[in-house]
Chains A and B, each alone.
Chain A
Amino acid sequence: NAGVTQTPKFQVLKTGQSMTLQCAQDMNHNSMYWYRQDPGMGLRLIYYSASEGTTDKGEVPNGYNVSRLNKREFSLRLESAAPSQTSVYFCASSEWNEETQYFGPGTRLLVL
C-alpha cells in the first residue's frame, strides 16, 4: 500500500516550457487535490476533484490545468511555466471531501 505517489520528485524548467505532474493513490479515495506550498503562505489549493469525472478550481488555478484520468490518477499540467510557479507541489487524496487528507511526498519545481 503505497498511499499517494507523485512523479517527478524534482524538476527544473525554463520559462515557457510545459510539463505534467503525476499523482496516483491506491486507497480507493474519491477526492483528490493539488496544492502548492510556498514559504510563509502555507498550502494553497490549485485544483481539486471531488469525485471521478469532476474537477474544480481552487484558490490559485491560473496557469494550471488538471485531469482526473480515473479514480486513481490526478495530473497537474503547466502549459507555459513561469518563474512564479517555482514551488513545492503536493498532491493529496481523501475518501470524500472534508475528510482527512493523505499527502504525497511532493514535487519540487524550479522554473528559471
Chain B
Amino acid sequence: AQSVSQHNHHVILSEAASLELGCNYSYGGTVNLFWYVQYPGQHLQLLLKYFSGDPLVKGIKGFEAEFIKSKFSFNLRKPSVQWSDTAEYFCAVATSGTYKYIFGTGTRLKVLA
C-alpha cells in the first residue's frame, strides 16, 4: 500500500538553527509532492510543491525541498528558522493518475526564541 513517512515527530530548535525534516514515500509511479504547514490554531496551507522539472523547489518564507527520486524522498529544509516557524509540518503525496492523496503523520516543530 502507498504510504508517506515522516520520521521526526517532534523537533525543537533554537532560532537561527538550520532545519531539515524528512519525508519518504512508497510508490513507484509518478507523484506530485507537497509540504503543508499548520500554524497553531489555523488550517493547513501550502508551503511548497513539486510536480516536475527542477527537483529543488523553493516555497514561501524561505523554505525549500529537494526531490530525490532514487531515494523516494522529499525533505524540507530551511537554513535559519525563526520563532514564527513554530508549527506542524505535513508532507503529502498525490499519485498521478489515481485519486490517492496521502498525508504523512506530521512533524511538530517548536522554535525557541
Contact with A along B99-110 (1 / 0, CB 8 A): 101111110000
Which among A40, A103, A105 has the greatest number of chain B C-beta atoms within 10 A?
A103
| One of A12-20, A60-68, A93-101 contacting the partner | A93-101
Judged by a CB distance under 8 angstroms, whether B94 is at the interface is yes
- For chain B, residues 59 to 73, give those with C-beta under 8 angstroms from any C-beta of chain A: none
Specify the chain B residue showing the minimal Cβ separation from A3: B43
Judged by a CB distance under 8 angstroms, whether B12 is at the interface is no
Q: Are A50 and B99 in contact (CB under 8 A)?
A: yes
Q: Are A101 and B9 in contact (CB under 8 A)?
A: no
Q: Are A104 and B43 in contact (CB under 8 A)?
A: yes
- Number of chain A residues close to chain B: CB under 8 A: 23
What is A's interface to B at a CB cutoff of 8 Å? 33, 35, 40-45, 48, 50, 56, 90, 92, 97-106
Specify the chain A residue showing the minimal Cβ separation from B106: A42
> Taking the nearest CB of chain A, how far is it from the CB of B70, in angstroms?
22
The 8 Å CB contact of B43, one of A40, A44, A56, A105, is A105
> Taking the nearest CB of chain A, how far is it from the CB of B4, in angstroms?
8
The main secondary structure of chain B at its interface with chain A is strand
The 8 Å CB contact of A56, one of B95, B99, B103, is B99
Q: Are A41 and B105 in contact (CB under 8 A)?
A: yes
The 8 Å CB contact of A97, one of B9, B44, B46, B101, is B101
A98 in contact with B32 given A42-B103, A50-B99, A103-B44 (CB within 8 Å): yes
Judged by a CB distance under 8 angstroms, whether B84 is at the interface is no
A98 in contact with B94 given A40-B105, A42-B103, A56-B99 (CB within 8 Å): yes
Which among A35, A48, A97 has the greatest number of chain B C-beta atoms within 10 A?
A97
A90 in contact with B32 given A42-B103, A56-B99 (CB within 8 Å): no
Q: Are A100 and B43 in contact (CB under 8 A)?
A: no
